[in-house]
Structures are given as structure tokens and as C-alpha cells.
Amino acid sequence: MTIGNLSSKIRQMPSAHTVVMVALQPIPIKNRNIPQKRLDEQRQTNRKVLNEVLRWVLQPLTYKQNPNAESGYYNVLCADGNVRRCKPVLAAWLADCPEYSDLHHLERHVCLWCECPKNELGDYVPSDKQHPRRDHNLYRTLSDASTKAADAELSSRHVHRGFNVFRHIPCIVSNLPKPDLLHTMQIGMLDHLQKWIFHFMKTHEWLDKYNAIWLSVPAYHDLTPKNKSYEEVSQWNGKEMKEMSRYLLGVVTQSL
């Protein structure tokens, strides 16, 4: 937890203690080689445990604890024992995309901002045909209804049924995701771009030239020398992705 209006100079000083650990999230063990039914049940239990922890941590921000939370400022008991007029706001949550799905009670591999169908992810959508934004107040109402029709509606929107603390906090939940560049750009979009370039070069029979130029990139400062061509690399790690992003444009330009 941190205070939002601190200057970056103060925030980045470890001695200032501007960031305070409030709680540790439970991290379940990875389940492998178990039946799918049992795996789904365990994942549902994991989501419930995570939401109970978040409910305890974020309870002062919820409608139930503070009915006037949505209207603006209200009295808050501070650590020094004084009561002050404050407006606590949940502004961001840095995490990976799979963790966002668990936090927001959504299925995996869906858009966190809008209700775009899974088969249309990545497609261009004109401005006049944008998909509706995710309405977590609606999800809360449908989940509380506990009817077959409500459950079917949640399922059609790729939303899990059950309690979710973010649906009880006065904030725009779809604006909370603030993904880090590593997982969104270098491991997400860059990986997609790599595969597209590879198939493009292969289709136009430029792959041999592309691999030769790839291997010719020299070691420079913290760039390591290449001992494998692009198609010989079976798995990329984060460091390799970061390095590759610095010379990919030059390799593609020379190949063309």
C-alpha cells in the first residue's frame, strides 16, 4: 500500500518507507496430473480463499463498511490514532494477466476491459462497434440472484459466480489493471510479432537470409553473441526477449 500523491523522488527512497506491506496473498501449489474435475474444484477453492483475504484487507473501502464511500470523503482512523477526512481509492494492481483473471473472478484468456468474445480477441474493431465495457455491478447483481438464468448469463460473459471484493468497492474495476511491460509487450505482443515475422519470411522464402542476419548480430555491451538461429530457439525467457527487442527491427529491415 502506498500514498498516491508522493513525488517519485521520495517514493523511490527505501529509507522513506513509502510502500507498506499490508498482507501476503496465499499462493496455492501447482496442481499437476490430477483429474480435470478435481482441478476445477481446487481452482474454485483457491479463488474463494484469495477473495476472503482481499475482503479482509479491502473491507474499509467497501460499500458495506462505509455507505458514503461512493459519495466522496469520510472519516478514517489513521495509524497515529487521529481521525481524518480521507478518500481512500484503489487505483492499481500490478500483476500478471492470469492473476488478474483470478482477482476479477473472470475466466482465463478473456479481455479484462470489455466483453469481447474469445474468438475475436486480437481482431480490429471499429469505433462504432466496440464491445460493452465490463459492468462489475451487473455481475454482482447476477451473482447475488443465484438463479439458473443468472448463472447462465454470467457464464455467457465468461464470469465466475460467487463473491468478488472488487464488485463492492467504489471504483471502475476495468481501470485497475496496470500490467507491467514485461508480460504485456515483451512476452505477449512481441511473441505474437515474432511468430508473424517468421511465417512471413518462410512464405516468401527469405527465412535462410533472416536466420543468417540473425546470427550475424554481434555482441555489444550487454548483448550476448548468438549461437542459434531464430528457428533453432525452442523457448524464450524474459531476458532473451528483452535483448531481442533491441535488434529485431534491424534484422527484419536488412532481411527485406
Q: Does residue 164 register a pLDDT over 80?
A: yes
Does 62 or 190 have the greater pLDDT score?
A: 190
pLDDT at 94: 65
Instruction: Compute the distance between CA of residue 164 and CA of residue 74 in angstroms, rounded to an integer.
Output: 23
- List pLDDT tens digits, range 110-159: 888 889 888 888 788 888 888 888 888 899 899 889 899 999 999 999 99
DSSP 205-249: T-HHHHHHHHHTPPPBTTBPPP-S-GGG-----HHHHHHHHHHHH
Query: What are the grid coordinates assigned to 158, written together?
Result: 465468461
For 134, 137, 151, 200, the CA distances from 148, given in Å and listed in that order, are 21, 19, 5, 48
Across residues 59-75, what is the average pLDDT?
63
pLDDT at 175: 75
pLDDT at 181: 61
pLDDT at 16: 82
| Whether the Cβ atoms of residue 133 and residue 173 lie closer than 8 Å to each other | no
Q: Does residue 221 register a pLDDT over 80?
A: no
